[in-house]
Amino acid sequence: MAKLFGARKIYTNPSDLIADSDIEMIDVCTPTDTHAELSTAAIKAGKHVLCEKPIARDAAEAFKLARLAQAAGVKTKVGFTFRYSPALRQIRAWIADGTLGQIFHIHGLEQNSQFLDPYFPLRQVPAGVELVGKHPMPQSIVGYGSHLVDLMRWMGGEFSAVAASMSSYVSERLVRGYSGMQRINADDGTVALVEFASGAQGMLQTSIVAVGNYPGIEIRVYGSKGAAVGRLVTENGIAETLHFATAGNVEFQPVTLPASDFPPGTTVQTEWRELYYRNLVRLWVGELLEDRTPDGDFHDGARSQEIVDACVLAHVERRWVDLPLYPDV
């Protein structure tokens, strides 16, 4: 791979890479349980860090990472890929400039059928955990719901409370790292109600067994002056669609975004993984070179993880859970 892409150096040990003084930024795209350890080592070495989500095992550890990065003076970013959808960035701009008016409702959906087939191995299940517990093991709400939480918080501001229900539908499946079919009580789908600090209402649904194509994200925002729907579902060769309506013209109309909203060399026909990740990387590099505050840093990652933890707690205890869980950070 180094020969194919012209890499000047190869590392077989992460500590060697982190210790290299020529390296200024580390991308942590390893299994979930290693994120906090590797990010911590990179931060302590003075490196900027891009890390896949979740950045830690729980919100408390994630906030610790965010504080460590701030104290070290390094920049961080979380791999919240869908913040970099041109359609969703336009919706956020409409919220910020008042085009949509006062925001009343934000609905976030992520529905694809990646794990509907029980013979497609479920990933990211730590070895040695109890597969059949009293409550569903968080899966969809962590792997997919964290994206929705981030998008909804990015657009609507802080959450003030959540109520949630988690369900397991596929009771036997292949699980990565285990041999043969396993009985498992895993979260295949979560639905949550959201109260925002602004007074807006929200609804969140994430599912890994809902029939549909990748990535399966839809964000709907309704305000006093207008409404917008961004749909990130690959269909008929199109990666995403954007529709807009106003209080005076309530029929939703398609919006075509200018080429300047897309990374160079891409269009709305570009495969979604490439389209969104290219946008993430180009903006991240710009933030580093221009010494700007990163969009979607470790503090945002910790807040997202805190909300995911609150959704799990709300399901387990069958109640509304107030946020923040960690008000002093």
Mean of pLDDT values over 201-226: 96
Q: What is the pLDDT of residue 123?
A: 82
Q: What is residue 27's DSSP assignment?
A: E
Nearest to 221 by CA among 86, 83, 101: 101
Higher-scoring residue by pLDDT: 33, 28: 28
109 and 238 in a single domain? The answer is: yes
Q: What separation in angstroms does the CA of 299 have from each of 141, 276, 278?
A: 19, 21, 22
| Average pLDDT over all residues of the chain | 95
pLDDT above 80 for 329: no
> CA torsion 7→298→275→154, rounded to 10°?
-170
pLDDT above 90 for 278: yes
Q: What is the pLDDT of residue 127?
A: 66
Q: What is the pLDDT of residue 33?
A: 87
184 and 128 in a single domain? The answer is: yes
| CATH classification at residue 243 | 3.30.360.10
166 and 30 in a single domain? The answer is: no
pLDDT above 90 for 144: no
pLDDT digit string, tens, across residues 69-91: 999 999 999 999 999 999 999 99
pLDDT digit string, tens, across residues 244-265: 999 999 999 999 999 999 999 9
Q: Which of 45, 80, 115 is the last residue of a domain?
A: 80
61 and 186 in a single domain? The answer is: no
Q: For residue 289, tell me if it sits in a domain.
A: no
Q: What is the pLDDT of residue 314?
A: 98
pTM metric for this prediction: 0.95
User: Which residue segment(s) compose the domain that 68 sits in?
Assistant: 2-80
Mean of pLDDT values over 2-23: 95
